[in-house]
């Protein structure tokens, strides 16, 4: 997807260790996370929505 594990974890609300576990196949995303990941893979522009939202939140 072209983003860091840390960013992905923050955007979807899981820990970095969770993302790492998914990547190495130790665990698998739950159905909701899997669907969100599918949406992000199929529509990378959605990442911009997450980035913009997180920037707005961090500015508060």
Domains in the chain: boundaries: 5-59
Q: Is the pLDDT of residue 12 over 90?
A: no
Q: Is the pLDDT of residue 37 over 80?
A: yes
pTM: 0.72
Contacts of 8 (CB under 8 A, 6+ apart): 1, 19
Q: How far is CA 57 from CA 14, 40, 47, in A?
A: 17, 20, 15
Select the more confidently predicted residue: 1 or 13.
13
Res 31: pLDDT? 96
Q: How confident is the model at residue 13 (pLDDT cuts 50, 70, 90)?
A: confident
Q: Are 8 and 47 in contact (CB under 8 A)?
A: no
């Amino acid at each position: 997807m072209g983003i860091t594990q840390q960013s992905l974890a923050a955007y979807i609300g899981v820990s970095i260790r969770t993302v790492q576990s998914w990547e190495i196949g130790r665990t698998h995303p739950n159905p909701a996370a899997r669907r969100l990941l599918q949406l992000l893979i199929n529509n990378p522009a959605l990442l911009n929505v997450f980035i913009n939202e997180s920037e707005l939140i961090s500015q508060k």
